[in-house]
């Protein structure tokens, strides 16, 4: 009798959960606009033509970060320094003094308190540079046998935060890969950690996320990874809102498919092999309006075409950036050639 009651209770909970999910899906809710322009979400866009010279010829650039007037970016696993006007100030990572081989960057963090750059090399070495590119000292990442992949890092609140995939081998026959968020001091001594799980979306979802990144809301750190199912992203967003899962707390341990800005919830995925399959989703919490644009938003500020890769440039997800080069700059920068470095565009989202 007791087992029967427990079974009925579980079934009842599942039924109510399913009904709640269907209500969210079937209610007259805002639809995603399949087209959208940058001005729909952006307050202003600032263009920064990056200086080109014989010491700095960049093609594809990524991992753009900044500290006030200092801009840092990565090209071909090398870290470069510009100012906010686009003037080239130097290459940070050059060659290892002991081997003469170039430092190959896996990730890096900006420490604005000490004006330092903390660079993780592909061999798990750690380099500390000042903003002028002087190597202050170097060390090695802590070695934990259970770590499978050391992921992205970020500086926040005088600590370094890192996403790490580790192998749980308690079951030797079927070890599992778990995703964790680690908190370190600035010398990579462990200060805390929490096991991560994918957010509850009210439906079946892949339980492992690739390339999760670190973000901050209300002074608390969380982890996000863009949705790979853009057809579901509006319903997923509404489910997260209605189930109060976007209230980030000190020990928040869900991997969200969204970046939480002051006004906009954003999910953006870039596919370099098929840029037209990239998408940008923006949910306007103020106007309860959504955009889900395949190939990216249209740049109607500088008329450079669609923006397939919109990158967050701050942990609070209120400032983004994108880069353009060559023919895409013909309207706004007609004298810019394919041999010139890209133009970096900084996007300030509407508040």
Q: Which of 325, 326, 320 is nearest to 282 (CA)?
A: 320
Mean pLDDT on 217-225 = 97
Any idea of the CA torsion for 104, 109, 112, 114, to the nearest 10 degrees? -60
pLDDT at residue number 98: 63
Give the torsion sign (CA, 225, 231, 235, 239).
negative
pLDDT tens digits, residue range 64-94? 999 999 999 999 999 999 999 999 999 999 8
195-198 — which CB contacts under 8 Å span 24+ positions? 195/253, 196/163, 196/223, 196/253, 196/254, 196/255, 197/253, 197/254, 197/255, 198/254, 198/255
The neighbour count for residue 178, using CB atoms within 10 Å, is 16
**How sure is the predictor about 259, in pLDDT bands with cuts at 50, 70 and 90?**
very high
Q: Are strands 297-299 and 305-307 parallel, antiparallel or unpaired?
A: antiparallel
pLDDT at residue number 146: 85
Mean pLDDT on 130-140 = 94
Does residue 23 carry a pLDDT above 70? no
Q: Which two tokens stand for residue 128?
A: 């500390």
Helix (H) or strand (E) holding 48: strand 42-49
Tokens 């709640």 correspond to what residue? 20
Report the greatest alpha carbon distance in the chain.
81
Are 32 and 281 within 8 A, CB to CB? Answer: yes
Burial 139-171 (b: 16+ CB within 10 A, else e): eebeeeeebeebbbbbbbeeebbbbbbbeeeee
pLDDT tens digits, residue range 111-134? 999 999 999 999 899 999 999 999
Tokens 């209300």 correspond to what residue? 218
The better pLDDT of the pair 125, 145 is held by: 125
Does residue 15 carry a pLDDT above 70? no
Coil, strand or helix at 322 = strand
Task: Give the C-alpha separation, 288 to 304, whole Å.
Answer: 28
Q: Are strands 105-111 and 116-121 parallel, antiparallel or unpaired?
A: antiparallel
Does residue 3 carry a pLDDT above 70? no
Question: Helix crossing, 2-26 with 233-242: angle to 10°?
Answer: 120
Tokens 């997800």 correspond to what residue? 317
Q: Which of 96, 89, 146, 97 is nearest to 123 (CA)?
A: 96
Scanning 100-242, the segments in alpha helix (DSSP H) are 233-242
pLDDT tens digits, residue range 304-344? 999 999 999 999 999 999 999 999 999 999 999 989 999 99
> What is the DSSP-derived secondary structure letter of residue 302?
T
**How sure is the predictor about 55, in pLDDT bands with cuts at 50, 70 and 90?**
confident
pLDDT at residue number 138: 93
């Amino acid at each position: 009798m007791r087992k029967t009651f427990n079974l009925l209770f579980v079934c009842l909970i599942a039924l109510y959960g399913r009904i709640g999910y269907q209500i969210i899906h079937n209610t007259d809710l805002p639809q995603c606009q399949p087209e959208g322009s940058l001005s729909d979400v952006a307050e202003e866009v600032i263009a920064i033509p990056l200086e080109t010279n014989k010491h700095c010829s960049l093609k594809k650039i990524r991992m753009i970060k900044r500290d006030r007037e200092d801009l840092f970016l990565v090209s071909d696993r090398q870290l470069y320094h510009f100012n906010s006007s686009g003037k080239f100030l130097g290459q940070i990572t050059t060659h290892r003094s002991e081997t003469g081989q170039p430092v190959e960057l896996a990730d890096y963090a900006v420490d604005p308190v000490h004006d330092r750059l903390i660079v993780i090399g592909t061999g798990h070495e750690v380099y500390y540079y000042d903003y002028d590119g002087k190597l202050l000292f170097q060390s090695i990442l802590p070695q934990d046998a259970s770590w499978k992949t050391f992921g992205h890092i970020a500086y926040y609140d005088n600590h370094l935060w890192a996403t790490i995939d580790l192998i749980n081998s308690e079951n030797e026959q079927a070890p599992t890969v778990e995703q964790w968020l680690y908190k370190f001091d600035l010398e990579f001594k462990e200060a805390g950690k929490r096991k991560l799980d994918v957010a509850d979306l009210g439906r079946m979802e892949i339980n492992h996320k690739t390339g999760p990144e670190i973000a901050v809301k209300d002074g608390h750190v969380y982890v996000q990874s863009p949705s790979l199912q853009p057809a579901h992203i509006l319903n997923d967003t509404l489910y997260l809102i209605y189930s109060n899962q976007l209230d980030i707390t000190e020990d928040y341990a869900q991997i969200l498919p969204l970046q939480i800005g002051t006004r906009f919830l954003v999910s953006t995925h870039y596919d370099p092999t098929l840029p037209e399959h990239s998408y940008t989703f923006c949910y306007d919490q103020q106007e309860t309006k959504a955009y889900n644009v395949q190939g990216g938003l249209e740049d109607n500020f500088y008329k450079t075409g669609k923006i397939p890769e919109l990158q967050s440039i701050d942990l609070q997800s209120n400032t983004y950036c994108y880069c353009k080069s060559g023919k895409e700059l013909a309207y706004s920068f007609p004298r810019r050639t394919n041999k010139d470095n890209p133009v970096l565009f900084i996007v300030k989202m509407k508040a």
